[in-house]
């Protein structure tokens, strides 16, 4: 596994780097073979150390987890425990997904994604209808079932995910609600189109 261990304004020593490599390799090896990319970033917020783990587990599957603690080792261990729990819950779906990943890439659409400057930076600027673009990139919109999309949302620890619904071909979105449940947006025209075809 190709692993990058970094610290943001923190010196990551050899002992911590070795601990991360050993523990992450052992955990990921239970679910995947070799050839994965992973990164672990340590940072500090006030008196807490934060550990962020990202594992690229295949086409379109990125597993993310993070945790905080008063020491870097427990922060990493807690983030790894969360990651392991997600992997365990979704192991069967991940196996099925690996078989379908080539088809999904062929069915995905590339869209432009923009990062816009938030309102907190706009008091000094003249107010206009066009927000300031901070970054521009492309992102795939993959064709998934709703359960596959929920799995991706959970594995990636994402706030929201847009996808093309395999059932009706329309654009859908799922998102994390403040109450902990997952919301699903399926426009009415998608449902009407699916009924006409069926």
Tell me what pLDDT residue 90 has.
72
Distances (CA, A) of 8 to 49, 51, 57, 80: 10, 10, 24, 19
pTM reported for the whole predicted model: 0.60
Tell me what pLDDT residue 41 has.
95
Is it true that domain 107-197 has CATH number 3.30.505.50?
yes
pLDDT above 70: residue 168: yes
Q: Selecting from 3.30.160.100, 1.10.150.120, 3.40.50.300, 2.60.40.1220, what CATH number does the domain 2-89 have?
A: 3.30.160.100
Q: In the chain, what are the helix, strand and coil shares in percent, each to the nearest 5? A: 40, 35, 25
pLDDT band at 2 (very low <50, low <70, confident <90, very high): confident
Lowest-pLDDT range, 26-40, 47-61, 97-111, 147-161? Answer: 97-111
What residues does each domain of the chain span? Answer: 2-89, 107-197
The CA distance from 180 to 189, in Å, is: 28
Calculate mean pLDDT across residues 46-74.
88
Lowest-pLDDT range, 61-70, 71-80, 82-91? Answer: 82-91
């Amino acid at each position: 596994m190709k692993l990058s261990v970094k610290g943001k304004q923190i010196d990551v020593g050899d002992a911590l780097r070795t601990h991360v490599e050993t523990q992450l390799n052992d955990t990921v090896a239970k679910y995947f073979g070799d050839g994965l990319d992973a990164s672990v970033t340590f940072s500090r917020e006030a008196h807490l150390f934060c550990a962020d783990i990202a594992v690229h587990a295949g086409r379109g599957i990125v597993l993310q987890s993070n945790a905080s603690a008063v020491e870097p080792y427990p922060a990493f261990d807690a983030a790894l425990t969360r990651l392991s729990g997600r992997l365990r819950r979704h192991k069967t779906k991940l196996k099925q997904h690996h078989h379908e990943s080539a088809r999904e890439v062929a069915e995905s659409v590339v869209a432009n994604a923009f990062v816009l400057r938030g309102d907190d930076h706009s008091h000094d600027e003249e107010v206009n209808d066009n927000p300031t673009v901070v970054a521009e990139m492309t992102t795939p919109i993959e064709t998934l079932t709703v359960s596959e999309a929920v799995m991706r949302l959970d594995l990636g620890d994402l706030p929201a995910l847009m996808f093309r619904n395999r059932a009706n071909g329309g654009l859908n979105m799922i998102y994390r609600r403040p109450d902990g449940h997952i919301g699903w947006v399926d426009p009415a025209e998608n449902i009407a189109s699916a009924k006409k075809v069926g």
